[in-house]
Every structure is written in C-alpha cells, then in structure tokens.
Amino acid sequence: MTFDYDLFVIGGGSGGVRAARVAAQGGAKVALAEEDRYGGTCVIRGCVPKKLMVFASEYSGMVEDAQAYGWDIQPSAFDWGAFRGKLDAELDRLENVYRGILKNNGVETFDQRAKLADAHTVELADGTRMTAKHILLAMGGRPVMPGIPGDEHGITSNDIFHLEKLPESILIVGGGYIASEFAGILNGLGVKVTQYYRGAQILRGFDDEARGLVSEEMCQRGIDLHLGTNVLEMRKEGDKIWVKATNGDERVFDHVMFATGRAPNTENMGLEEIGVEIGRKGEVIVDDYSQTAVPSVYAVGDVTDRVNLTPVAIREGMAFVETVFNGNPTKPDHELIPTAIFTQPEMGTVGLSEEDAREQEPIEIYATSFKPMQQSFAGRSERVLMKLVVSQKTRKVLGCHIVAPGAGEMIQLAGIAVKMGATKEDFDRTVAVHPTMSEEIVTMKTPTRTA
Ligand code: NDP
C-alpha cells in the first residue's frame, strides 16, 4: 500500500516539530498540521514568554539592591505596553524560526486543524484527506477551569500575555508550577497578588523543606498566600470580580487567574473512534515506545500526560523517530529528570524528595539554609536552601533540591552528577568554587538528620 506521507504529525509544538524535523532529515516524507501558532505552548504561551516575564519582574528588586550597593538610581514605573510590544515581536520571531525549521527540512505544513479518519488517514478542517504510514499525535494540552460557579469570569495563563494593561490586583488560584510562578512574576511587576491554594502547602509533590522555603519567601516578598483556601463562588461587579472564598472572605479583584491544571487536547480528534485508548484525564495511552493501541499511531508530549515538560516531549519525539524510522527501538528515559520552577526564589530539583526517599530506604539528609552574600549585603533577609538526599546503603545521591537565585542553572549541572549515580563522597571530592552559593553542595560534612 502506498501512502501520501511516511509521517503525518498533528501539532506544531516542541515534540511534534522535533519529530517532524528529525524524521525528514532522515529522508522521510513528512507533513505537519497546526491549527494555532507554530512553537506550541512552550514557545507561544508558556516557558518562553513566562521566563521573559520573570526577567522583567526581577528588575524591580534589582534597583533596590543596586541602591544598597551604592548606585544612585531611582526606580521608575514599569511600562507593560512597551514590554508587551517587545514580547510579541520576539514570539513572532520565534514562531518564524519554527516555521523555518520545518520548511528548510522539507516538511509540508498545513495551517489548520487535523483529526484522524482511520488508522492511516488524517482529515483536515477543510475536508482534505491524506494518508500516512505513521501518524504522530502531538497536540499538547490546555488550561482547564475548575468548574466553580462564576469561573467563566476568570482568565488562565494563556490570557496573561495579552492583557491590555496590568491589573492593580489579581487573585491566582492553584498551587502548582503555573500559579506559583505567575504569583511571583505579577508581584514583581507591582500587581497586588493574592494566591489561594486548597492544600496545606504549594508545589505538592516536591521536597517539603524546599517548597516550605519557597512559600515563606513568596510571602516575605508580599504575596498574600492563603493555604487551605479555594474559591467558593465569584461574579462580575462592574469591571471587577467579586470572590467568596471557602474561608469566608469576600473580596474584589481586577482579575482572577485559574492555574488549576491542564488537560490533554484529545477531544473531537476521532481517536477513540479508530481504537486509540484514552485515559481518565483525556490523555492518549501509550506504551514505553510512545505507541498507542493503534499500531500506526504514536503520541508524544503533554497529550500523553507523562511528564509535561518541553525537554521531555522533545526526547519522546526523538525516541519515536529512532524507533520507527531508524529501526532502533528506543524508550524515552523518564528517570531523574532535573527541573526548575521559576518561582521567586527559584527552585531546582532532581531525583527523590526526602519524603519519597525515606519511604524507599534508610537515608541521610544534608541540608543547609543561609543568607547568600549578594542579597545579604543589600540588606535582604532572604535565605537559600541546598539539600542532598543520600542513600545510607549505596551512598548515592538520590535527590538534590536547591532554592536560590539561579537554582535552575545550578540543577542542570547537579543533574548530570545525580544521573551518573554520583555518591555523596563524589560530591565531597569535588573542590568548592568559592565564593558561590552552590559550593555548599560539596561542603556539607555531617548529616543534618537520618531517616
Ligand atoms: P499543576 O497540576 O501542577 O497544578 C494544578 C494546581 O491546581 C494544583 O495546585 C491543584 O491542587 C490545583 N487545583 C486543581 N484542581 C483544582 C480545583 N478544582 N480547585 C482549586 N484548585 C485546583 O498544573 P499547572 O497548571 O500549574 O501546570 C501544568 C504542568 O505544566 C505542570 O505539571 C508542569 O509539568 C508544566 N509546567 C512546567 C513549568 C516548569 O517547568 N517551570 C512551568 C509551568 C508548567 P492540588 O495540588 O490539591 O491537586
């Protein structure tokens, strides 16, 4: 049987574009359909614009610090319009880079929605049907609203980048990556930020000590964080939003942003109709090689709800090409993925939290929390945390958790050692880089506690 294409990719985000490019470079005839902007969540409405906003928001504190260091400068107002104009231009540039990658590698693109008609047939929104030997689902995910009365008046992280003007006040609902990162960003930009999280501590799943410090520092910096609190109901009052909380508070905000999780984009895709298995949260069920229940259909990235991070989607896309086009069955490796949460302060983490590790085996904890030199000199009281979770038996470092400015940069490098299986003694043998914050990671001599 002959097909129009060797590979048809649905979705032009990180995972889809990488798989399309690498397959095409290897000689495959590849097509890709994208209904929105090329680059996907990460480039257009996630990691990239978010990180640029983190940078923008950090300058407010830097002016104060510079004054403390003797600079005669005064802070002036943040010009959201000017920043947004530059941000939009940067995202246009990046989208063109993504389009260029596909074009230059001979990938044919269709700027419209695509769904599956059968195991080898894709149907575009305009009704065109095309066949492919393999189909890769890479549609990503989208923010979901919690289903609270009045939540239609709320916005999501998708909308934040398009606000006409910065609000004076905002309520952020949720305690995950997105909620906590945007709380810091908007606070830094001068917005009065309130955050409601229904659980006992934000950033559930991460090391307790690390999330505790992030939460404490966020409050120190002026975020009005309410734990064990959720929105009960809300309604529009003029151009503001009235919110009643589960703790009885009634307040009015300019905006309410929900960061209450994301759902895979699998609706109305013709998936179940052709036998692709869908899980409880709407995710495409795949095996270790990213293959779905229909052998010609594979899926990578957030649509599979495995580890929802861009570099993981990229790895999954590469492993898919290796498996299907290079005859070399390759499982994407989901073990010991280093990651950063761009809260203020930042958290970098790899491996097991203290809580998860002690469920598995006897451990030693090495942890130190201190005021870093640069901030301390400027009169700030903020603390950083360097922490290692070590196996008593193998001496391997099972987890490394850093809360500090630049923790994302640090954990990338510590992640190599942990991935290599470094022991505590390997860390100890490494000479400290002085004076830095991260030198503490190789100078902690005695365990803080054992468990
Ligand atoms: P998360 O799943 O991390 O967090 C969702 C939050 O919303 C949780 O705190 C959850 O509470 C809360 N929540 C869920 N339902 C409700 C509800 N009905 N009412 C109130 N609160 C609710 O999702 P995010 O949207 O923050 O992020 C999605 C994913 O995107 C992340 O898991 C991550 O993989 C990725 N991401 C990565 C980033 C990075 O690498 N720096 C940055 C941003 C996103 P509870 O804990 O109680 O369930």
120 Cα to the center of ligand 1, angstroms: 35
Whether residues 184 and 247 share a domain: the answer is: yes
**Could you say which of 239, 260, 281 is where a domain stops?**
260
Whether residues 227 and 361 share a domain: the answer is: no
Question: Of 420, 178, 129, 133, which Cα lies nearest the Cα of 302?
Answer: 178
Q: Whose CA is nearest to atom 35 of ligand 1?
A: 308
Whether residues 25 and 122 share a domain: the answer is: yes
In a domain, 333, yes or no: no
156 Cα to the center of ligand 1, angstroms: 12
Q: Look at the block and give the residue holding tokens 């999280």.
A: 197
244 Cα to the center of ligand 1, angstroms: 22
**Could you say which of 234, 260, 286 is where a domain stops?**
260
Q: Whose CA is nearest to atom 16 of ligand 1?
A: 260
Model pLDDT for residues 207-224, shown as the tens digit of each residue: 999 999 999 999 999 999
Q: Where are the alpha helices (DSSP H) in 350-434?
A: 354-360, 373-377, 407-419, 424-429
Question: Of 347, 350, 315, 351, which Cα lies nearest the Cα of 331?
Answer: 315
Whether residues 272 and 124 share a domain: the answer is: yes
Question: Of 82, 60, 83, which Cα lies nearest the Cα of 73?
Answer: 60
3-state secondary structure of 99: helix
Give me the percent of the chain exceeding a pLDDT of 70.
100
Q: Which residues of 390-421 are buried (b: 16+ CB within 10 A; e: fewer)?
A: bbeeeebbbbbbbbbbbbbebbeebbebbeee
pLDDT at 1: 83
Residue 403's pLDDT band, with cuts at 50, 70 and 90, is very high
Q: Whose CA is nearest to atom 33 of ligand 1?
A: 308
pLDDT at 16: 98
**Could you say which of 298, 324, 350 is where a domain stops?**
324
pLDDT at 156: 98
Q: Whose CA is nearest to atom 46 of ligand 1?
A: 204
Model pLDDT for residues 415-441, shown as the tens digit of each residue: 999 999 999 999 999 999 999 999 999
Residue 170's pLDDT band, with cuts at 50, 70 and 90, is very high
In a domain, 332, yes or no: no
Whether residues 221 and 270 share a domain: the answer is: no
Whether residues 421 and 317 share a domain: the answer is: no
Mutate to test the pocket of ligand 1, among 177, 218, 334 (most ligand atoms within 8 A of CB): 177
Residue 300 has pLDDT above 90, yes or no: yes
Q: Whose CA is nearest to atom 38 of ligand 1?
A: 177
120 catalytic residue (yes or no): no
**Average pLDDT of the residues in 176-188:** 98
Which ligand 1 atom is nearest residue 341's CA?
41
Number of domains forming the structure of the chain: 3
Whether residues 133 and 82 share a domain: the answer is: yes
Whether residues 442 and 308 share a domain: the answer is: no
Please give the model's pTM, rounded to 2 decimal places: 0.97
Q: What is the distance in angstroms between the CA of the first residue and the CA of the last residue of the chain?
A: 61
In a domain, 194, yes or no: yes
- CATH number assigned to the domain comprising residue 47: 3.50.50.60
In a domain, 334, yes or no: no
Beta carbons within 8 Å of 158's beta carbon, 6+ residues apart: 45, 142, 143
- CATH number assigned to the domain comprising residue 435: 3.30.390.30
Strand 108-110 with 30-33, pairing: parallel
**Average pLDDT of the residues in 33-57:** 97
Question: Of 29, 47, 7, 281, which Cα lies nearest the Cα of 137?
Answer: 7
Whether residues 79 and 59 share a domain: the answer is: yes
Q: Whose CA is nearest to atom 13 of ligand 1?
A: 260
CB 6 within 8 A of CB 135: no
Six-digit token string for 23: 């397959």
Residue 283's pLDDT band, with cuts at 50, 70 and 90, is very high
Residue 75's pLDDT band, with cuts at 50, 70 and 90, is confident
Residue 120 identity: H
Model pLDDT for residues 245-279, shown as the tens digit of each residue: 999 999 999 999 999 999 999 999 999 999 999 99
136 Cα to the center of ligand 1, angstroms: 26
Whether residues 9 and 137 share a domain: the answer is: yes
Query: Measuring from each residue's beta carbon to the nearest atom of ligand 1, which residues come in under 6 Å?
Result: 146, 173-179, 181, 197-199, 204, 230, 259-262, 308-309, 339-342
Sign, CA torsion 325/329/334/337: negative
Whether residues 357 and 286 share a domain: the answer is: no
Catalytic residue among 162, 226, 401, 434: 434
Domain span at 253: 151-260
175 Cα to the center of ligand 1, angstroms: 6
In a domain, 146, yes or no: no
Residue 181's pLDDT band, with cuts at 50, 70 and 90, is very high
Which ligand 1 atom is nearest residue 307's CA?
34
Question: Of 382, 345, 357, 384, which Cα lies nearest the Cα of 449?
Answer: 357
Mutate to test the pocket of ligand 1, among 48, 144, 178 (most ligand atoms within 8 A of CB): 178
In a domain, 26, yes or no: yes
In a domain, 330, yes or no: no
User: What is the residue-averaged pLDDT of the chain?
Assistant: 97
In a domain, 62, yes or no: yes
Whether residues 40 and 131 share a domain: the answer is: yes
pLDDT at 8: 99
Six-digit token string for 9: 């990719």
Q: How far apart are CA 427 and CA 100, in angstroms?
A: 43
pLDDT at 262: 97
